[in-house]
Each structure stands twice: as structure tokens, then as C-alpha cells.
Amino acid sequence: MAKTAQNPVKSAETTFEVLDALKDLDGAGVTELAQHLDIPKSTVHNYLSTLEQEEYVVNRDGVYEVGLRFLELGAYARHREKLFEIAKPEVDRLAEETGELANILVEEHGRGSYLYRARGDKAVQVKAHVGTRVPLHTTALGKAILAHMPTERVDAIVDRHGLGGEASNSISSRAELEQALADVRERGVAFDDEERLEGLRCVAAPVLNHDDEIIGAISVSGPTNRFRGDRFREELPQKVLEVANVIELNVTYS
Amino acid sequence: MAKTAQNPVKSAETTFEVLDALKDLDGAGVTELAQHLDIPKSTVHNYLSTLEQEEYVVNRDGVYEVGLRFLELGAYARHREKLFEIAKPEVDRLAEETGELANILVEEHGRGSYLYRARGDKAVQVKAHVGTRVPLHTTALGKAILAHMPTERVDAIVDRHGLGGEASNSISSRAELEQALADVRERGVAFDDEERLEGLRCVAAPVLNHDDEIIGAISVSGPTNRFRGDRFREELPQKVLEVANVIELNVTYS
DNA sequence: CGCTCTGTCCCAGATGTTTGAACAACTGTT
DNA sequence: AACAGTTGTTCAAACATCTGGGACAGAGCG
């Protein structure tokens, strides 16, 4: 179901392959990149010098690196999301009041993109940065989103990306997923019990607009030892829901 | 002095022209983009469909928009800057303690890129987001950086970008610049008195590594009515310098 | 000094890109 | 309900451009 372009511009594809490689290798020289991509040195050099000229890539004494111009584009893309502007202060508050890690996720191209991440004073250290993309069915945030999408969109997403699980507790069949989504709809919140990362639990709530369309989700994550019993099942869900409701109100009137 | 690629990949250039236009127009359809770029519709369509396939662009009911995948690249590029990781918590503190807007800027391709921006409770509203790029000589942050660069690099930057001023108080000749930079070196901090934005003042301090090479600058900005007298000339400079020193220490030991 | 790495440059041949024109799908109007 | 004026999309031929091997200069090292 992933749309493939009829007349793809191959050089554009190559351009992003180069950038992706530059990111994966965390900076590299021409030769190293060429080997990694299995493309002639001279070709890689042409791309890199073009990217440098356009100021999208930096050459720091022999090593090419992804440039900050992408921060410009990325920050712009984030700013364009209504949800970010509105939810950020509320999620900051959520992080402060719980002391944990609070997040905002939106769907794009059938995957989840972390828009923002606020750290409370006890917040766990997590590798994933803002901008990281994750499969929707493997996180509480993603399930909160899927649960409020029209079935046909859920189908399309599952067709496109599959249900590859990253950890043990993960959902692996369409039936399991449907059951999980029904749970989420009933409770109003979604849980994640070490499904994606060991030792990490998460409580997420959907954010809907005034037409009841899903526009994203917010959550609180933390270590299993602080996320259990009443706090995990009652306190935190209520807190997250309350914040989600405030955001929904602000989204409607804006 | 701007390096131009010997064998530029024109399609790569076009790709970024399309993305830039998409940003300038804040989302657009094929026809609108084609007119704006003066390129045939079919060509624009080829690029957009390729970018969509690669998930760098989103099509929201007929309107193409810059996608969040750039947030992934941008957040990565920022994370790669040592200065960001180390300075962020200190700049957060600076914003909290002063109640104003605190910033981190680094140089790239001869221009300044805002890496981070922390808002205190009285912080002014400024249009510029994270990622915004500015001419170095028009801000206190930029002057703090230029003042600690080897002369030949300053020359190269002036040759490349000129001294086009954005406002009245701005520096417009190489001699004026040199005088201003000497001032900065003497005082240790740089000031900005409504040079770039009317009604806005700014105090910035450089951040050097253990080899005395400049790696960026931090600052506090605020409205003229709160930035005057002793607070502007003594208190804030001392505060900013103190924070910059803490950051320098942390940069050295990491 | 010679060896082996780099990154850079060049040019001809192959390949991919460009392009206008034609088409289908919508929207709003008469 | 038919229509005119939009839009986005497709196609294939003409040609501009990208590719890629090889040659080169310079750096680093023993």
C-alpha cells in the first residue's frame, strides 16, 4: 500500500540515501560512504559536494556530517503541527507534576513520530530523541492513536508496515491488535507494559479534535518500579486523561 | 568564497528548491509550486511523488507539506553538537533564574544557527524558532562568536555573506566590525541594542573549548524596558558569563 | 623517500530526467 | 444536468545529466 512514485527522480532518492548513511555512520568520509552504499567514490563525492554547497551538509576537517539546516526544516515541520504548539506547555506541566518523562506523538506515513519529550526531575534516560519514528502498535501512544482511527486506515497501516514486534509482550496478530484497541477505547487510555523497552511502562491518552478525529496522543513513561499498583492503574491514567482533555479544549478553540 | 561544487548534481539542487518552496509557501499544491518555481507541473509532480514515497513530504488532502522526517534528521544534527547536550540544562537554568529568553547559537557555513531556546516566565515572544539562521554580525551571539575566531575566518565570512544590516544600529563596515569585536574581547561579553529586532536587547557570552577555540555562544534577550541600567550592564553580563564558564568546564571534561 | 591512504577532478557513454500534451477527477456555476 | 475551469496525474520521446572508471595531487606514516 506504500505509494510508489510513477516517475521517481532517482537522484533525489540517492540524495537521501547519502544523508541517511551519513546519519547511520554518524559522519563519514567519501571512501567510507562509498563502500557503505556500494556506489563509486566519484558519485558520492558529487552528491556530498552538492549538499555542502547547498549548506545541508558540513565538512569538518575531512568528515562530512549532517548539517543544522535540517534543524531549520525539522523545527518548521514541527511548528506546523497544531498539536505541538498547543500541547507543549501542558505536557511540560505533566512532566513536572509527575516527575516522569512525558511525550507527544503523531502519526505520519503510518508510523509514529515523537514531536516532543519533556523531562521531569526523576525522568528515565531513554535513547530515543525527538523525531524518532516507531511502529504504532508497539507503544501505548501508538495504540491510543490506532484505537481512534477508522478501521480502513488501521488496515492500510497494518498492510503497509506489518506487526513486527520488537519485544516479548508485543502484539503480533490482527485479532490481538483489534482486542487491544477495543480495550483502549473502553478505558480511554492505553498502557504499555515493557512492550518496546524492557523495564519501561507507559500510560497514553488520545487527543481528538472537535470532529472526533485523532490528531495525536500524549503519555507518561517511567520505570516499572514506580509504575505499578494504583499509581499505574488509577492515578496516572486520570492525570494523563485530564491533560489530554485540556489540550482538546485548546485545540477546539484555536 | 562559497565553495561551489565542480560536478553538482542538479536534481539534488532541485530537490531542495522544492522543499524550500514548500516551506516558504507553508504547504502548496503541484500547480502552485510549479508557478512559484517556474518549472513545469509534471517535473514538480515527479519530485513531490518521490519525496512522498521517501516519506520526507506529506500530502494532506491535496496539499503537500514538509514532513516530520526532517525533524528526525534535524534532531539528530543537533544532538551531534556537543555544545547542545552540555549547555541545554545550564541555559534552562539561565532562563528560569532571569525569567527571560535564553539562547544557544553555533556557527555553520558562516551563519548563526539557533540550537536551542529556553523561555523564562516573562520571556518575550519572538518569531524566530530553533533552527533559524541569522547573519552573525547582527546579533550579540554572533558577535561573541566572531570575536573569538581567527581573523582569516572572519574575513572569509564577511567576504561570503557581506555585512548587510537588518536594522538601524547595525554594523556596516569591516572597520566598525573590528572595533565591535575588540570591544567584545575586552569586556568578555557582547551586547545587542535593538540591532536586529526593535525593542529587543541581548547579552551574549562566548563558549570556548580547552584549546580556546570558539564552539558557540549563549545569551539572554529581553525587552528594552527590562534591559537597562545596572541590570543590562552589570547583573546580566555577570550571570551570562558565569553560566558560560560552567559550560566551558563541562565541555572540557567530557 | 616511497608507500598507501585519502579526496578531488575529468570526460565520454549510458541513463535518467525533463517536458508538453492529453486525461481524469473535482468544484462551483449557470 | 451539463459545463467550463480547476486540479493532479500519466506517458513517451528528446536530450540533458548523472554515472563511473581512471588519473591526479596531497597528506600521513614508516
Q: What is the DSSP string of A228-240?
A: -HHIIIIIHHHHH
Length of chain B: 254
Across chain A, what does the average pLDDT equal? 95
Q: From the centroid of its chain, how far is CA B63?
A: 29
A188: helix, strand or coil: coil
The DSSP secondary-structure symbol of A137 reads G
Query: Nearest CB to B11: which of A9, A115, A130?
Result: A9
Confidence of residue A164 (pLDDT cuts 50, 70, 90): confident
pLDDT average, residue stretch B106-132:
95
Confidence of residue A254 (pLDDT cuts 50, 70, 90): confident
* pLDDT one-digit tens code per residue, A228-250: 999 999 999 999 999 999 999 99
Confidence of residue B167 (pLDDT cuts 50, 70, 90): low
What's residue B249's pLDDT?
Answer: 96
What's residue B176's pLDDT?
Answer: 94
Check B15 against A11: CB less than 8 A apart. Answer: yes
**A10 CA → C5 C1’, Å:** 32
Check A8 against B51: CB less than 8 A apart. Answer: no
> Using the CA of A14, which nucleotide's C1' is the nearest one?
D18
The model's pTM = 0.94
pLDDT over 90 (residue A142): yes
What's residue B170's pLDDT?
Answer: 74
Q: Which residues contact A34 (CB under 8 A, 6 or more apart)?
A: A40, A41, A43, A44
pLDDT over 90 (residue A201): yes
C-alpha cell read off for A78: 514541527
Confidence of residue A6 (pLDDT cuts 50, 70, 90): confident
Distance in angstroms (rounded) separating the CA atoms of residues B110 and A181: 51
Length of chain A: 254
pLDDT over 90 (residue A112): yes
The candidate with the shortest Cα–Cα distance to A191, out of A243, A154, A241, is: A241
B40: helix, strand or coil: coil
A202: helix, strand or coil: strand
Contact B198, B138 (CB under 8 A): no
Chosen for mutation from A72, A83, A88, A93 (greatest number of chain B CBs closer than 10 Å) is: A72
pLDDT over 80 (residue B53): yes
Residues of chain A in contact with residue B133, where contact means CB-CB under 8 angstroms, are 68-69, 72
> Using the CA of B44, which nucleotide's C1' is the nearest one?
C18
Q: What is the DSSP string of A54-67?
A: TTSEEEETTEEEE-
pLDDT average, residue stretch A6-32:
97
Q: From the centroid of its chain, how far is CA A233?
A: 24
What's residue B169's pLDDT?
Answer: 65
Check B108 against A68: CB less than 8 A apart. Answer: yes
Closest residue of chain B to A133, computed from CA coordinates:
B72
* pLDDT one-digit tens code per residue, A50-68: 999 999 999 999 999 999 9
Query: Nearest CB to B79: which of A27, A53, A129?
Result: A129
Q: Which residues contact B254 (CB under 8 A, 6 or more apart)?
A: B82, B86
What's residue A74's pLDDT?
Answer: 98
Check A71 against B66: CB less than 8 A apart. Answer: no
Higher pLDDT, B234 or B195: B234
pLDDT average, residue stretch B44-53:
98
Chosen for mutation from A52, A73, A114, A215 (greatest number of chain B CBs closer than 10 Å) is: A73
Residues of chain B in contact with residue A65, where contact means CB-CB under 8 angstroms, are 77, 80
* pLDDT one-digit tens code per residue, A182-191: 999 999 999 9
pLDDT over 70 (residue B1): no
Closest residue of chain A to B45, computed from CA coordinates:
A7
What's residue B2's pLDDT?
Answer: 67
The candidate with the shortest Cα–Cα distance to A44, out of A8, A7, A11, is: A11
> Using the CA of A63, which nucleotide's C1' is the nearest one?
C7
